[in-house]
Amino acid sequence: MDNLEREALSKGFKNIIGVDEAGRGPLAGPVVSAAVVFSPDLLGLGIRDSKKLTAVKRELLSKLIYKSSPCVSVATCWPEEVDEINIHNAALISMRRAVLALSIKPDIVLIDGKFTLKDMDVEQKAVIGGDNKSVTIAAASIIAKTTRDTIMRAYHIIYPAYNFERNKGYPTKEHVAALNLSGPSPIHRRSFSYSGKK
């Protein structure tokens, strides 16, 4: 899980950043991205791709990542922005915002996926399946996921009809049924399809 970090260190890069996002697929809520600065202290924590961890394990690891990394940042793109610029661009922009929000200037940014970030004067490496190949990208995936889940649990209190506490805005059968019954809430993405309708 640290081969990419070792490679970067061998090339003289010091401040190695991993970045990932959560929330491409939901019908509601923001896209949340996180950037994590690499530290050897992240190794041995059991960090893996957030999708392969239980919610309890993610929450525990999230706390350990904040303690172990020199710097962690989070950024979002809210539903209105997703509708305006599309989900692909929103994900990339939120990742760029997360990197720029770091108090430590990166020497290299490892990005989950096949796209690099625009308007960034820093070395970048896009890594397909990066959350399975880089401990810092995996750490970022955990921070992004736990942060977004917290946001959606808060929205559940405001809009309980959609049960965001359970589905986190993803298009579950229950969520789609609630949409068909009540229509979209203010945090639903209007550009996404609900039950095949725009």
φ, ψ dihedrals at 111, nearest 5°: -115, 130
Average pLDDT of the residues in 163-182 = 95
**pLDDT tens-digit series, residues 44-90:** 999 988 888 999 999 999 999 999 999 999 999 999 999 999 999 99
φ, ψ dihedrals at 171, nearest 5°: -80, 65
How much is the mean pLDDT over the chain?
Answer: 94
**How far is residue 39's CA from residue 50's CA, in Å, rounded to a whole number?**
19
**How far is residue 12's CA from residue 97's CA, in Å, rounded to a whole number?**
25
Return the CATH architecture of domain 3-182. Answer: 2-Layer Sandwich (3.30)
DSSP string, 140-155: HHHHHHHHHHHHHHHH
Q: What is the pTM for the complete model shown?
A: 0.94
**Which pLDDT band holds residue 164 (cuts at 50, 70, 90)?**
very high
